Amino acid sequence: MEIVKDKFHTGIDIGSGYTTVIIGRVGSEGELKIVGVGRTVTKGMNRGLVDDVGELKETVRLALEHAEEYTGRGNLTGAYVGVTGQGISSKNVINLALHKGQTEIINSSRIRELVESCYPENDPLTDVLHVIPVGFNLDGYNRTRNPLGLHAKTVEIESHVVSMNSIDLRNALKSVTSNKVSVNGAVFQGLAAAESVITGDEREIGSVLIDIGESTTDIVVFKEGSPWYSTVVPVGGNMITRDISAALGVPFRAGEEIKIKYGHCMPSMVNSNEEIVVPGFQGDDKKTVLKRDIAMPIQSRMVEWLRLVTQAISASGLRAIPSGGLVITGGGSKLNGLTELINDNLEIPVRLAYPTGIKGLPTQLQKPEYSSAVGLLLWAVKHQGEKQSYPQENIWSQIKKIVGKKERAMVG
């Protein structure tokens, strides 16, 4: 089989629990053709932060090795890498173009200038990941998302700007570049997940994407068709596993298995007599526990998690959750009873989402834990042609250029 090098697109999702690499290309009818998937347990990362560079490099190497089984090693022309952690922050920037006193027709270079004007002042501690134009006000009253070709005297732009702590970003990307794969762009994992699961209607009426991972919850609020607020809550599914392991005196891995098989966050939905057998560890006898007794502490934890999530959403300044409600995804969203728990507590629509409606996407990837990785692949396809490789030592200035190019392409 002949390999056409430049046709591959690659997404690398470095999650705290699992690292996923998906390689794909676009078929003749616009469908996705997945040519490789690698998923491996992440080592060297916690809460979205790298705590062991060598282990993380090895994690990415293993995931790449599996994914590259069919493409062959060294045929990737760069990857889009998902990043997260508490170092993520966002703000919306509004800028007014200089009033020229005369009517102009807004062209794409004018739009580019406006987008560039939203770049925050150079801050040595953070790097800008995204500057996404969300709306333009023409002459103070005409709001539009695409002003191209319109006449106006003044143009105001509003952009959603997502930044990340420079050191956290550098550490995460190093695990990719040290495996000799260049980084075409770094993408906030919440935005990547949204790319594969949020519908057009959910963007328009407003909704909140919530990607529940191993140790982070990524949040993106959508309003009027665009991302409007991005943040990260440093809590994920491993908190439940830790509780179960501690309560039952079993290792983390056994706690994980019990959570996935028997965990539930709505005790009222669990048969009150149903028992489960917990294997004995370190000389202990096996024991039986009521499934409902496990569900109760899980419920308390998840109510607490929901409180943190709603607090994070209100920190955006929104007075109410948009009417499209919550769109939950990520491995942690699979916890039994979670949509019911959210419904009970917030009385808003909740949808458990996974990548779907994507032509050519195999069912194996239509699962909540793949939302972010599939979104990265879609991102890579959307931004193809902007791929760049750069010398590692000059990575930061290059990333700024790449990010700039990418976002400019969104409006051009």
Ligand X SMILES: Nc1ncnc2c1ncn2[C@@H]1O[C@H](COP(=O)(O)OP(=O)(O)OP(=O)(O)O)[C@@H](O)[C@H]1O
Residues that bind Mg ion in the complex, under the rule CB under 5 A = 15, 213, 372
Contact in structure between 13 and 376 (CB atoms under 8 Å): yes
Cα–Cα distance between 53 and 158 in angstroms, integer? 37
Ranked by CB distance to ligand X, the top (closest) residue is 213
Cβ atoms within 10 Å of 98's Cβ, excluding its own = 9
Q: What is the dihedral of CA 64, 169, 212, 22, to 10 degrees?
A: -20
- The residue from 215, 226, 231, 339 that contacts ligand X (CB under 6 A) is 215
Among 135, 236, 337, 349, binds ligand X (CB under 6 A): 236
Q: How far is the CB of 329 from ligand X (least distance, A)?
A: 8
Q: Which one, of 161, 168, 218, 125, lies nearest residue 407 by Cα?
A: 161
Close Cβ partners of 324 (under 8 Å, ≥ 6 residues apart): 201, 202, 205, 206, 207, 208, 222, 349
Q: Per CB under 6 A, which region of 117-125, 144-152, 211-219, 378-386 contacts ligand X? A: 211-219
CB of 227 to ligand X, least distance (A): 18
Is 358 a binding residue for ligand X by CB under 6 A? The answer is no
Phi, then psi, of 7 in degrees rounded to 5: -95, -5
Tell me the window of 142-150, 171-179, 258-266, 312-320 that interacts with ligand X (CB under 6 A): 258-266
Among 9, 10, 12, 18, binds ligand X (CB under 6 A): 18
Q: How far is the CB of 341 from Mg ion (least distance, A)?
A: 21
User: Strand, helix or coil at 145?
Assistant: coil
Q: Give which of Mg ion, ligand X, none residue 226 binds (C-beta under 5 to 8 Å, depending on kind).
A: none
Residue 276 interacts with ligand X (CB under 6 A): yes or no? no
- Which residues 6+ apart lie within 8 Å of 256 measured at CB? 241
Binding mask 54-93 for ligand X (x = CB under 6 A): ------------------------------x---------
334 binds ligand X (CB under 6 A): yes
Q: How far apart (Å, rounded) are the C-alpha atoms in residues 81 and 58?
A: 16
Rounded Cα gap, residues 115 and 155, in angstroms: 12
Q: Rounded distance, CA 210 to CA 313, Å?
A: 10
**328 scored as a contact of ligand X (CB under 6 A):** no
114 or 353: CB nearest ligand X: 353
Minimum distance, C-beta of residue 210 to ligand X, in the bound complex (Å):
11
**237 binds ligand X, rule: CB under 6 A:** yes
Q: Give residue 35's Cα distance to chain centre.
A: 22
Kindly tell me which residue out of 127, 158, 214, 407 binds ligand X, with binding defined by CB under 6 A.
Answer: 214
- Chain residues binding ligand X by CB under 6 A are 15-18, 48, 84, 213-216, 236-238, 241, 256, 259-260, 263, 330-332, 334-335, 369
